[in-house]
A and B are shown apart, each in its own frame.
Chain A
Amino acid sequence: MPESDTSSSAARAVRVVDAPLRSPAPEPGLREVFRRRYLLRLLVRREVAARYQGSVLGMLWSYINPLTQLFIFWVVMGVIIGRGTETFGIHVFCGLIVVHFFVETFGAGTRSIMRNKALVRKMAMPREMFPVASMLVSLFHMGPQIVILVVACVLLGWTPTVVGMLGFLLAVLMMAVLGTGLALMFAAANVFFRDIGSFVGILTNFVRFGVPMIYPFTLVEERFGAASAYYLYNPIADAVLLVQQAFWVGTTSDPVDTQAHHIPDNLFAYSFLGLGTSLVVLAIGQIVFRKLENKIPERLT
């Protein structure tokens, strides 16, 4: 064949590109993440599929895991120690759902950049995508737990209240925002120091016991008195109480008394404060992430 370089370039089409000249790097920030919903959906779907990849029971683990934890706490606290409250199982389970959601968002989000390094190193996409996808996956896995909880509550004669449900939504929102914020912060840091991953493990242990899950909030009030207000500055504790208000209170024999006795009066005030704190954490997380993000591709090995 002839070497016909000139002829091929002469036949070339003129392509007019109707687009602005701009930086090829993806716009940083969470807004861009939600603008590219299709990509986000693909990432979430693959995470959900990947979590139980190669396991025989598959999605069933989403039910087995919380149920066994519930069983352990119920046996240890309710039966052996005997310091439980009325319908103690529901009390614990409300806490478990919140803690589980938060811990999963935080933990999986922190590892998300490392786990997807093949994509991060070679594709131009907003990297906030990965922690956000982790949060949505955790949210998805909360579904089965809510189903278990609702079934159990209905069997115990529970009826939903508007205030309770609004409180529940607030709790979920709060944990989603806080979890994503912390995940952003730690996901970027984890690329530079793998120690962060281990540190997160320890932190989540504190979370389990820093909320009124295996002990009632009244115990905190008894021990610390007025100082128990500080306990309520913890957004996770507020979220647990909100969920208990939504589900557990209605399963006790005298809901009005339980509400008055076990749920702090100004829980909503504390919760909105908690939401504010979570939003601040999210903003800081975003700033930290953006600062570190530039060096991420080259540090992923």
Chain B
Amino acid sequence: MTYPASTSIVVDGVSKYFTMRYQRTLKQMTVARVKGREISDTFKALDDVSFTVEQGESIGLMGLNGSGKSTLLKLVNGVMRPDEGNVLTRGRIAGLIATGAGFHPQLTGRENVFLNAAVLGMSEAETRRKFDEIVEFADIGRFLDTPVGNYSSGMFARLGFAVAVHVDSDIFLADEVLAVGDKPFKKKCQARMQQVREEGRTLFYVSHAAGSVRKMCDRVIVLEKGRVGFDGDVEEGIRYLKYDPDEDAPPEIDEDDDLGADI
């Protein structure tokens, strides 16, 4: 099949299976086999998912926990390959998966910035040029030269986001990045992501916060147990998920919604 030059991401009939292992040791496996119990079971994390994304679109990926959002993101990022179907992307991809970058816990923040940037395809010169900007954005101060294993989850996320967002990418993936940061950092991230969006990069944003999705995205895809449940308008998508604060729930519960509105 051919796609126009403006297509950024193609997900075509993609399924992904995971094996769930019940028994680990030889003894346990033998016992299970004798008793006629299953040794392993497969679980369909994604089930025939298809959609295409145009360059510059910003997609809000929503769904309940365990609906396959992170798996889909890993396939688009290229960490995993689909078991069935095809994933195609155009250009360089940067972003975060499951609130954290692929940082090595024993390396310092500085070393991780270089390593991470190299994995994302940046050259040494390019990293050096952007290093100060990254450090300034992350704002982790003197912790830069301590191993990231000692970082707080907030600092970890800040540095990860800072690297990912400074890579000159064509597609930006953001998986619940704003879940761990504090309020000032969340605002900074959102502003930066708006900028990413304005530059015409494709944005793939996973969030449970209806407010920030509303603010950031122009299309919503809802996953339900590994299938595409909804694909279309943002408001309808949020309504489809019933994430809009309804009459029974007091509105102040949804912190992120608030945040989305007051920026």
Contacts and interface: CB of A to CB of B under 8 A. Distances in A.
Q: Is chain B found bound to chain A in the same assembly?
A: yes
Contacts of A121: 79, 102
Interface stretch (A1-9, A68-76, A253-261): A1-9
Nearest to A11: B198
B195 to A, nearest CB: 10
- Label chain A's interface by main secondary structure: loop
B114 A15 contact: no
Interface in B196-217: 197-201, 214-215
A3 B74 CA distance: 32
A46 B104 contact: yes
Interface residues on B, range: 35 or more
Contact of B118 (A3, A9, A38, A116): A38
Interface residues on A, range: 35 or more
B262 interface: yes
Contacts of B263: 1
Nearest to B21: A299
A43 B112 CA distance: 11
B78 A124 contact: yes
A53 B198 CA distance: 44
Given A39-B119, A297-B74, A15 B56 contact: yes
B123 A38 contact: yes
B30 interface: no
B105 interface: yes
A45 to B, nearest CB: 9
B107 interface: yes
Interface stretch (B60-68, B88-96, B222-230, B246-254): B88-96
A151 interface: no
A235 B87 CA distance: 43
A12 interface: yes
A123 interface: yes
B80 interface: yes
A21 interface: yes
Contacts of A205: none
Contacts of B81: 23, 25, 294
Contacts of A53: 106
A143 to B, nearest CB: 23
Interface stretch (B3-11, B137-145, B237-245): B3-11
Nearest to A45: B111
B111 A46 contact: yes
Contact of A5 (B87, B88, B105, B215): B215
A48 to B, nearest CB: 12
A12 B170 contact: no
A241 B36 CA distance: 54
Contacts of B87: 23-25
Interface of A: 1, 3, 5, 8-9, 11-17, 19-26, 36, 38-39, 42-43, 46, 50, 53, 116, 118-125, 294-295, 297-298
Closest 6 CB pairs of A and B: A15-B200, A24-B78, A124-B78, A122-B102, A123-B102, A17-B91
